[in-house]
Every structure is written in C-alpha cells, then in structure tokens.
C-alpha cells in the first residue's frame, strides 16, 4: 500500500442545504477515487435536479437575510471562515492531495492561499466605493450609484484547484450580499465539503450558502437554467462555458474559461530564469492549470541552449506519491486528461516533433495515471498542442524567428487568459504587452502567475468578466443609480 493511504479510509460525505447536512433526495451516491492510490476516498450524495431546485429555493428564501446583513457582519463572517480554514490546513491539504493528486506542499500552499484570498475581499468590501456625480443635463440633481446584490448566485467550479477556485467565488458572492448555491467538481468534492464545514462553523445563517454535489449534466444544468437564479460564476472548460451561456438566458454571467497560454522566450532572455519558469509553469499541479505554460515559443537563436537546460532540469524531477516529501509531481487527475495528453504527444510526433524528455506513463505506481514530465521539441504550429488546451505535464517547444511571428502564433487560437514574454528589452516587452490579446501579460514571469487583487479574467474564448479583489464584488452585484433633485427640497427659513 502506498504511503498516506491509511488516512484515506472511505468516508460518507453529505451536501449542505439550508444549514443542514443532507443526502440526495433519492439516496443516490457516487464514489470519489484517489488518482494517486486508486482507493475510494469517500462516497457523496449524487444530487438530482430536485436537490438543485431545493438548494435554489433555500437560497431564495435567504436572500433578504443576505441582502440586509450589515457590511460589518458580512466582513466578520468572512474573517471567521478564513480563521476556520486556518485551523486545519494540514488535514485539508492531505485530502486535497489525495483527491487531486498534487504534491502535499502544493496543496498546503493552495489551502493557505484561500485565506488571504478571502481576507483581501473582506478588506475590499470595507472600501467598496461607488460613483456619485452632479447632474449635467439637469441642474440641482445629484446622482449616486449604489452596489446592489444580484440576489441568488450559482457558483460552479472545476477540479484543478479545489480550494482556490471556490475561495474566489463562494464567500465573495456572499460578501457582496447574495445568497449562494455552490456546485463543486465531481472529481474533487472533499475539499468543497471542508470549505462548507468552515462556513458552517463560522455560523453563516442557514440558506445563505448551500452546496449540492452531483453531475454537471444534471445538477449544473438545473442550477444554470433555474429562473430564480440571478447570477452565475463559473470556472471550467470553454465548451462548458459556451453551453452555460446558451442555457442561462439573461442571468449575469462571469465565466473563467480555458487558457492555452504561450510563454515567449526572446533571443536576449536569460536562459536560467526562463528554464525555471518553463518548469514551474508546465509541471506545477501536473500542468492542470488554466494558466499553465501551454505553449513555449523559443527564439531560434537561443533554442538549443534553452531546450538542453530544460531537459537537464526536467530529468531531475521526481514523479511520486503526493504525500511523499520528495515528490515534485503527482499523477494526472483523471483518465480523460491522461488520454488527451497522450493524444497531443502522439499527434505532435506524427507531425515531426521529437520527445526529448518523458513522453510516457511511469511504471510501477499505484495507478496508471502517473506520467513523466514531458518536453516535446520542434512542435509544428498546426499540432494540437498549439490549438487546444492540453492541461497536462507537457512543455511543447515551438521555434520562432521574430517578435511578429511569436505574437501571431500566440494570438491565433483565440484564447486569451494569461500570456508571458521573457526579454531583456523593455521596449520589446511593452510592444508584446500591447499586441498580445489576453487578460494578463507577464513580463519575465511564467504564464502561471496571479495575485489576489488583479482583475482576473480572459479575452475571447477564455471568458467573460473579471474576478479577484473588488472585481469579484463587482461581478456579483449591479449598480443602481439613485438621483436626487436637491433643488426641489425646501430651503429652511
């Protein structure tokens, strides 16, 4: 038995509706299996359309309580949730590693990251100002715009960051004055239950935050289509985002979708930091990241040096069980992603690319989901690596000869979440920053970068709207203008 699996004895988890831990209305369940050990970690209620509706109804009943809660009290709840997370970081991180597959130190960093994420929003809530202006068309009129909660917000999250992504949506929607229904990914719901435990212990009033587990095709679609839902915060694949946009009607949408981020290495870049950033951005969390370096464009003048240093670096990485301290990279989270990675590698090789590191599953592991960190060189632009998100532990290298060519390749697939360039030349960096079409441009940093306060979101196929810091509060609210005709108020005698 692999190390750490003792703590993974099967547990029975529940959903959280109207302040109570409940089973599915028809008693159905599904198992969550660890990609790291192959063990069943727990059984979950397989929520139905009726469960989803019950959660929305509970949230709608709680709308007034959420809307009228003083900002001071909302802030206090946010702080208490963050404190509850802080109490059990290690325990939550172990579960996160077992259900996701990422190394324990990455899970610890992820759970820890949820805390400042929430605290930041609390501080932004305290300073959440809105415009006021004197009239232009009418004299003596004062306009004041007030933030108004949407009402009931649905948040749907993916499996790749089971703590950070819910922590960007669920608590924030409540802080903005909404009631919330949260549907986590079916591959990683244990972390979601832990977040709900923290919300419960923080004494968030019943119905204000609810969680329903179960398939996206039933629970997710029911929530998205529900006529009493006012807003949706979704993170996931572009194809799912498109489906949600079609079903949602005129609900306020915030969609955080797929990446395909390019990292451009110019001929004047320093090799060592560039290679460090390639390794970090391709292999952290097994490459399961919307802001992974999905495509590495290397200037032909520096190409051989970069590839040699990268291969040396990658060959030192240890693939292993996520709870082992020496593990650098764990397994791929699920079979469909593993098969996609294999498909993209085979496609590139068929088109003339060369696998220079990895390129196969790791034998002798507890499951067959372990895959070597992989470098594929001389990938042609028409390869799948350059047109569709791989979402796995791969560094596909494409050559280019000048900045125009790199920018054209970067923008071509119409994804635009995060893009990066390494160069010593500030003028080149700013030229790229202006011409690359993405929500974030990283200069001398990997594509894989973010902070708690930057307006986060994509251009084109990478999404709609912005989150993080005050932008999440804006995403989950409307602006309502109140106009006063001050001139019509009598002047006291």
Contact status: 284 vs ligand NDP (CB under 6 A): no
Out of 389, 419, 436, 471, the residue judged to bind ligand NDP by CB under 6 A: 389
Residue 77 to residue 71: CA distance in whole angstroms: 10
Give 33 or 271: the residue with its C-beta nearer to ligand NDP: 33
Binders of ligand NDP in range 170-199 (CB under 6 A): 183, 185-186
| CA-angle at 395, arms to 390 and 399, nearest 5° | 110
Give 49 or 142: the residue with its C-beta nearer to ligand NDP: 49
71: β partners: none
Contact status: 113 vs ligand NDP (CB under 6 A): no
Contact status: 46 vs ligand NDP (CB under 6 A): no
Residue partners of 490: CB distance under 8 A and separation at least 6: none
Site string for ligand NDP, 126-165 (x = CB under 6 A): ------------------------------xxxxx----x
Give 151 or 189: the residue with its C-beta nearer to ligand NDP: 189
Contact status: 28 vs ligand NDP (CB under 6 A): no
Out of 57, 256, 277, 445, the residue judged to bind ligand NDP by CB under 6 A: 256
C-alpha distance from residue 443 to each of 130, 291, 419, 426 (Å)? 32, 14, 9, 9
Residue 125 to residue 468: CA distance in whole angstroms: 12
Contact status: 333 vs ligand NDP (CB under 6 A): no
Q: Scan for tokens 């949602």, then name that residue.
A: 248
Give 390 or 477: the residue with its C-beta nearer to ligand NDP: 390
Contact status: 106 vs ligand NDP (CB under 6 A): no
Which of 38, 6, 33, 10 lies closest to 368 in space, CA to CA? 38
Give 244 or 353: the residue with its C-beta nearer to ligand NDP: 244
To ligand NDP, the closest distance from the beta carbon of 6 in angstroms equals 27
**Interface size with ligand NDP, residues (CB under 6 A):** 31
Which of 47, 44, 24, 15 lies closest to 32 in space, CA to CA? 44
Out of 149, 233, 258, 392, the residue judged to bind ligand NDP by CB under 6 A: 258
Give 125 or 185: the residue with its C-beta nearer to ligand NDP: 185
To ligand NDP, the closest distance from the beta carbon of 405 in angstroms equals 25
Give 29 or 88: the residue with its C-beta nearer to ligand NDP: 29
Site string for ligand NDP, 412-451 (x = CB under 6 A): -----x----------------------------------
Contact status: 377 vs ligand NDP (CB under 6 A): no
Contact status: 229 vs ligand NDP (CB under 6 A): no
Out of 48, 235, 327, 390, the residue judged to bind ligand NDP by CB under 6 A: 235
To ligand NDP, the closest distance from the beta carbon of 257 in angstroms equals 5
Contact status: 261 vs ligand NDP (CB under 6 A): no
Catalytic residues: 256, 290
Q: What token pair was written down for 160?
A: 């790749």
Give phi and psi for 319, each to the nearest 5: -90, 130
Task: State the residues that interact with ligand NDP by CB under 6 A.
Answer: 156-160, 165, 183, 185-186, 215-217, 220-221, 224, 235-237, 240, 243-244, 256-259, 290, 389, 391, 417, 458, 463
């Amino acid at each position: 038995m692999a190390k750490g699996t003792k703590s993974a004895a099967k547990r029975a988890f529940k959903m959280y509706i109207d302040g109570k831990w409940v089973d599915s209305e028809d008693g159905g369940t599904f198992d969550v299996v660890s990609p790291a050990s192959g063990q069943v970690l727990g059984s979950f209620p397989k929520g139905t359309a009726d469960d989803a509706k019950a959660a929305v109804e509970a949230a709608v009943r709680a709308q007034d309580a959420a809307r009228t809660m003083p900002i001071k009290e909302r802030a206090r709840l946010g702080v208490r949730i963050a404190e509850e997370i802080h109490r059990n970081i290690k325990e939550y991180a172990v579960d996160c590693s077992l259900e996701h597959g990422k190394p324990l130190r990455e899970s610890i960093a992820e759970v820890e990251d949820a805390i400042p994420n929430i605290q930041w929003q609390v501080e932004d809530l305290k300073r959440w100002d809105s415009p006021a202006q004197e009239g232009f068309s009418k004299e003596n009129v004062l306009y004041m715009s007030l933030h108004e909660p949407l009402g009931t917000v649905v948040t749907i999250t993916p499996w790749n960051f089971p703590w950070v992504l819910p922590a960007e949506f669920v608590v924030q929607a409540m802080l903005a004055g909404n009631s919330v229904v949260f549907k986590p990914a079916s591959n990683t719901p244990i972390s979601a239950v832990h977040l709900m435990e923290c919300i419960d212990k923080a004494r968030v009033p019943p119905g204000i935050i609810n969680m329903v587990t179960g398939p996206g095709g039933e629970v997710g679609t029911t929530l998205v289509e529900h006529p009493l839902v006012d807003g949706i915060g979704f993170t996931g694949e572009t194809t799912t985002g498109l489906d949600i946009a079609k079903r949602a009607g005129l609900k306020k949408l915030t969609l955080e979708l797929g990446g395909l981020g390019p990292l451009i290495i110019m001929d004047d870049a320093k090799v060592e930091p560039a290679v460090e950033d390639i390794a970090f951005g391709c292999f952290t969390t097994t490459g399961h990241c919307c802001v992974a370096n999905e495509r590495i464009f290397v200037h032909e003048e520096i190409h051989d040096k970069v590839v040699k240093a990268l291969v040396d670096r990658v060959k030192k990485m240890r693939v292993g069980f996520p709870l082992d301290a020496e593990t650098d990279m764990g397994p791929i989270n699920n079979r469909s992603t593993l098969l996609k990675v294999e498909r993209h590698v085979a496609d590139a090789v068929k088109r003339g690319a060369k696998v220079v590191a990895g390129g196969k599953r790791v034998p002798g592991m507890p499951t067959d989901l372990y895959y070597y960190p992989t470098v594929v060189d001389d990938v042609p632009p028409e390869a799948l690596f350059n047109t569709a998100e791989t979402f796995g532990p791969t560094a596909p290298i494409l050559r280019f000869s000048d900045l125009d060519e790199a920018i054209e390749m970067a923008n071509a697939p119409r994804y635009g979440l995060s893009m990066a360039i390494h160069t010593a030349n500030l003028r080149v960096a700013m030229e790229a920053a202006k011409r690359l079409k993405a929500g974030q441009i990283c200069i001398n940093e990997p594509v894989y970068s973010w902070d708690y306060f930057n307006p986060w979101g994509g251009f084109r196929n990478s999404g709609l709207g912005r989150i993080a810091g005050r932008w999440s509060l804006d995403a989950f609210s409307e602006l309502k203008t109140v106009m006063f005709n001050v001139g019509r108020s009598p002047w006291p005698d």
